[in-house]
Copies of this chain bind each other. A is one copy, B any other.
Amino acid sequence: MHALVERLYPLCRSITGDGVRATLDIVDEYVPLERHEVATGTRVLDWTVPQEWNIRDAYVADSAGNRVIDFAASSLHVLGYSVPVSATMPLAELRAHLHTLPDRPSWVPYRTSYYRPQWGFCLAQETLDALPDGEYEVHIDSTLADGHLSYAEHVVPGQVPDEVIVSSHVCHPSLANDNLAGIAVATFLARALARETPYYTYRFIYAPGTVGAITWLARNQDRIDRVKHGLVLACAGDRGELTYKESRRGDAEIDRVLRYVLGASGRPHRVTGFTPYGYDERQYCSPGFDLGVGSLSRTPYAGYPEYHTSADNPDFVCPKAMADTLDVCREAVAVLDRNRRYVNLSPYGEPQLGRRGLYDSLGGRSDAQEAQLAMLWVLSLSDGEHSLLDVAERSALPFDTVAVAADALHGAGLIKA
């Protein structure tokens, strides 16, 4: 996964443009993508697809012609969606277009101006401080023109058409944790799922933040009721502990599954309530859709100093942390995919398990006892109201033990889904 992060890192992504396309090209090498291009001006919910932005070169050069700020060195150096400019001006005038982080003098900030025409450069405070007064040549070779917004999907078909969406944003330029780690974890989760036939159909969405998710929602409005659960993956690779942010509903099944998996795993972690800011859970959980979509990250949105700066680079992202995030995703899928509500078909008194061989079919002593308890719990709570996750939580038995017990009872015809 870290190699994928490193490959994607130099590209200049934005909410539209060739940087996004190049990103999707690379992801497509890992999992085949269905690509979508939506024309500028298309109405998407309350929004309109903006003009497409592309940039070839940008720099500030001193009077000697030395590039003192150079887009080629890092895509962060240009204010996102900068309009083209070609001019010479004194430093005093240029300053109004320069963005720094005075508190972190060696870091370059990430800034954009999507919906108001501006141009600008981002640089380290140290670099700015070292610039002598004088005339500077300013050059941004960008285009802002009608074009398209690009996004892509990858679908792992399941046993049922009901869907789980896994969404990551692809609009941030050279920032590693925010959003490349999420893209990488999503992609490797898709590859893992593709090796089996999951219960649910899993749809992976790679789209620019906000307007991309809104575009996806606009174009899938008539089939949105297929989406039963979802996860937004972001900030998935820093060294902080895992954070699950609940869906707006707070008690959606995905919320219960993630709380259970994180709790049962013994990992240090946080669970936070929904807030209407962060990543694209904002859109999926807007009150009209109100989907059961939570967000999994390590240190959450804006919660670390490197956030939206040049310090969020591939070194900031830890391979072990990404692997851990992926593990939790797979554990969550393992619970979500098997979490069913059963009905006990022999609900009057306990059915005689011994007669059906359900006491004997099991190996080791304490294992056998736990399996037997799990069967009694599944029988007791299978009234159509309780899911296997309810059973696991009420009984304090591992979900896996409960699911195996349910399989045995289902095999014996004692319960039905």
Contacts and interface: CB of A to CB of B under 8 A. Distances in A.
A348 B105 CA distance: 41
20 contacts: A45-B346, A45-B348, A45-B349, A47-B349, A116-B354, A210-B350, A213-B349, A214-B349, A217-B348, A274-B380, A276-B379, A282-B376, A285-B380, A286-B348, A286-B349, A286-B380, A287-B347, A287-B383, A288-B347, A289-B347
B46 A287 contact: no
Interface residues of A, number: 45
A373 interface: yes
A325 interface: no
A377 interface: yes
A248 B380 contact: yes
Contacts of A349: 45-47, 213-214, 217-218, 283, 286, 288-289
B350 A288 contact: no
Contacts of A179: none
B347 A286 contact: yes
Given A45-B349, A276-B350, 15 more contacts: A45-B346, A46-B348, A46-B351, A214-B349, A218-B349, A221-B348, A276-B379, A276-B380, A283-B350, A286-B347, A286-B379, A286-B380, A287-B344, A287-B381, A289-B348
A33 to B, nearest CB: 23
Contact of A115 (B274, B355, B381): B355
A103 to B, nearest CB: 15
Contacts of A395: 275
A366 interface: no
A287 B350 contact: no
A361 interface: no
Interface in A1-55: 45-47
Nearest to A356: B46
A348 B288 contact: yes
Nearest to A348: B288
Interface in A318-377: 344, 346-352, 354-355, 373, 376-377
